Chain A
Amino acid sequence: MAETATAWQLIIGGDPTLFAILRLSLVVSLSAVAVAALVGMPFGALLALTSFRGRGAVVVVLNGLMGLPPVVVGLGVYLLLSRSGPLGDLGLLYTPSAMIIAQAVLVLPIIAALARQTIEDLWRDYRDEFVAMGVGPAERVAALVWDGRYSLLTALLAGFGRAAAEVGTVMIVGGNIDGFTRTMTTAIALETSKGDLPLALGLGILLVAVILVVNAAAWTLRSVGEAGRTA
């Protein structure tokens, strides 16, 4: 197909528009995952290691929120950040910051829920030994996070995959402004509807490649880490 050939030319030729969009997409999604991890990992660990009334309900809700529809998150964050909204004075709507916030909200339940499951399973294994060794609460969390780090990495990857692939939230709160808030997914949607299939295809190829590269990097990290333990 002619479109495919043109798409490859754009990628190989280092088309500046294409790579500006790629850069923004990466910055937004990676920042969102970082923010979500900062909040979601400790929250998941806390939930895994505490018991209180209604804990089961919290776990169910958290797991359910993994399936939050992106457009609904976009709408919610839009209402918060719009001029008349509670955070309207910050003037964040239609900026990359708004997109980071929205994607972080979207990804937070995924990271928190998977972290909770990982740490809870590990804790079930470790509990008796830790009690027998007199391991205190802070040391417990540190040891569980460290020993579960490769599984937790998978939780981050799941979050990144979700953030990088979604189009609904960034479209609503970012506005798909050319050269400012246009990401790969919103650009693909736009270029496809305009009929510029080579650019859309090129972006599509890049997007899939980026997700593969990030996953491959994580895989390598894990393999090297595990080889290091057996060396």
Chain B
Amino acid sequence: MRHQVFHELPLVLDAVSLRAGSVAILDRVDLSIEAGAPILVIGPNGSGKTSLLRVAMGLTVPTDGRVLWGGRLAAPPVRRAFVFQRPVMLRRSVLANVTFSLARAGCPWAQRRSRAEALLERVGLADLAGRAAPALSGGEKQRLALARALAREPELLLLDEPTANLDPAAARRVEAIVGEAATAGVKIVLATHDLGQARRLAGEIVFMTHGRVRERGAAPAFFAAPSTPEARAFLAGDIVL
């Protein structure tokens, strides 16, 4: 595709803070994300997971600090994509939602339809291609959002609690698609408060509380022996304040 020369990775957050008035939503976060296994961002509600992902996508500009994508500042999204907790469906058909994303990613007109159909096949929505996207169920919408995101051939895919509103079966289908993308070489950064999901998908864990990254490490080590008392409490199911 046209922007192959640019790289989104490594993604570097350099002393990033995000403040709303006197409240620090993100508090001097340093984080470097390289290619590799999925990173699962976990932590209690209000710990800054969504804000971290939005800053990492470039949707929110931090109050302080720098964000670099492949060494570039203020880089427009080229090969990074985002899946929202509540994805917004364009008021078009399922297929047209995907072709729109393909067009924005620079896919030539002649290839759009066949590539869109392949993507819908990949997320299990081929049968619903002609359906109005806003009429889909929650799980189907999330899978369509994934197809739209994958249409960008992302190097980096950020997902903000993509299964928070889904039943377990629908959540598993989304996880399967994310897992396949990871296997295919897409760098996944996924925020969740579902520890089961974190165990299933994670290569690495980033644990947050109060807008800070408290721990980062390989998933097995984190789950076996978290080093902070907050993480121990969080894993034990206690309320972390």
Contact = CB atoms under 8 A, between A and B. Distances in A.
Interface of A: 125-126, 128-129, 131-135, 139, 143, 147-148, 226, 229-231
A143 B90 contact: yes
Contacts, number: 52
B78 A125 contact: no
Residue picked from B87, B91, B135, most chain A C-beta under 10 Å: B91
A175 to B, nearest CB: 46
Interface string B87-98: 110111100000
Contacts of A134: 76-78, 104-105
Interface in B65-84: 76-78, 81-82, 84
A139 B80 CA distance: 19
Given A134-B78, A229-B93, A125 B148 contact: no
30 contacts: A125-B88, A126-B90, A128-B59, A128-B82, A128-B88, A129-B84, A129-B88, A129-B90, A131-B58, A131-B59, A131-B77, A132-B59, A133-B77, A133-B81, A133-B100, A133-B101, A133-B105, A133-B148, A134-B78, A134-B105, A135-B104, A139-B104, A143-B90, A147-B90, A147-B91, A147-B92, A229-B92, A229-B130, A229-B131, A230-B130
Pick the 3 closest A-B CB pairs, nearest first: A132-B82, A147-B91, A229-B132
Given A226-B132, A230-B132, A230-B135, A133 B59 contact: no
Specify the main secondary structure of chain B where it touches its partner.
Answer: loop
A55 to B, nearest CB: 21
Nearest to A126: B88
Contacts of B135: 230
A141 B159 CA distance: 27
Nearest to A226: B132
A225 to B, nearest CB: 11
Contacts of A132: 57, 59, 77, 81-82, 84
